[in-house]
Amino acid sequence: TNILEFEDFMSPISKKRIQRWQYNNYGVLHKKLHYSPNSKKRIYEEFFDKNGNIYCTKMFEDNEKNSLIYIQTYRHGRPHLTFKTEKQLFQHYFENKFNENDVVFCDARLLDKPLLNQQNKTKNILVFHSSHLNDNKTINQSYKMALENPQKVTQYLLLTEKQKSDILNVTNIDPDKISIIPHFIMPHQSTDNVEQLDRFVFIGRIAEEKQINHILYAYHNFLKSGFTTKLSIYGRDEFGQQRKLEQLIEELELQDNIDINGFTNNPLMEFQKSKASLLTSSFEGFGLSVMESINVGCPVISYDVRYGPSEIIDHGKNGYLVEQDN
SS3 sequence of 227-244: CCCEEEEECCECCCHHHH
Q: How many domains does the chain have?
A: 3
> Residue 214: helix, strand or coil by DSSP?
helix
Q: Containing domain of residue 303, as a range?
A: 199-322
The pLDDT assigned to 134 comes to 85
* 213 and 132, same domain (yes or no): no
The helix (H) or strand (E) run that includes residue 5 is none
Task: Please name the residue ranges forming H helices in the chain.
Answer: 86-97, 112-117, 141-147, 161-170, 212-224, 241-251, 267-273, 288-295, 309-312
* 76 and 136, same domain (yes or no): no
- What is the rounded CA–CA span in Å between residue 274 and residue 169? 39
Which domain-ending residue is among 84, 103, 126? 84
Backbone angles phi, psi at 169, to 5 degrees: -70, -25
Identify whether 170 is part of a domain. Answer: yes
- What is the rounded CA–CA span in Å between residue 200 and residue 319? 13
* 263 and 240, same domain (yes or no): yes
pTM of the predicted structure, to 2 decimals: 0.78
Q: List, in order, residues 6 or more apart from 323 with CB less than 8 Å away.
A: 303, 304
Which domain-ending residue is among 50, 84, 118? 84
- What is the rounded CA–CA span in Å between residue 7 and residue 248? 38
Kindly state the average pLDDT of the residues 159-163: 93
pLDDT at 190 over 70: no
Contact by Cβ (8 Å): 223, 257: yes
- What is the rounded CA–CA span in Å between residue 38 and residue 60? 14
* 215 and 276, same domain (yes or no): yes
Backbone angles phi, psi at 232, to 5 degrees: -120, 140
* 236 and 255, same domain (yes or no): yes
Identify whether 41 is part of a domain. Answer: yes
Higher pLDDT residue, 285 or 128? 128
Identify whether 239 is part of a domain. Answer: yes
pLDDT band of residue 70 (cuts 50, 70, 90) is: very high
* 294 and 210, same domain (yes or no): yes
* 278 and 304, same domain (yes or no): yes
Higher pLDDT residue, 214 or 37? 214
Identify whether 185 is part of a domain. Answer: no
* 96 and 74, same domain (yes or no): no
* Domain harbouring 297, CATH code: 3.40.50.2000
Contact by Cβ (8 Å): 200, 277: yes
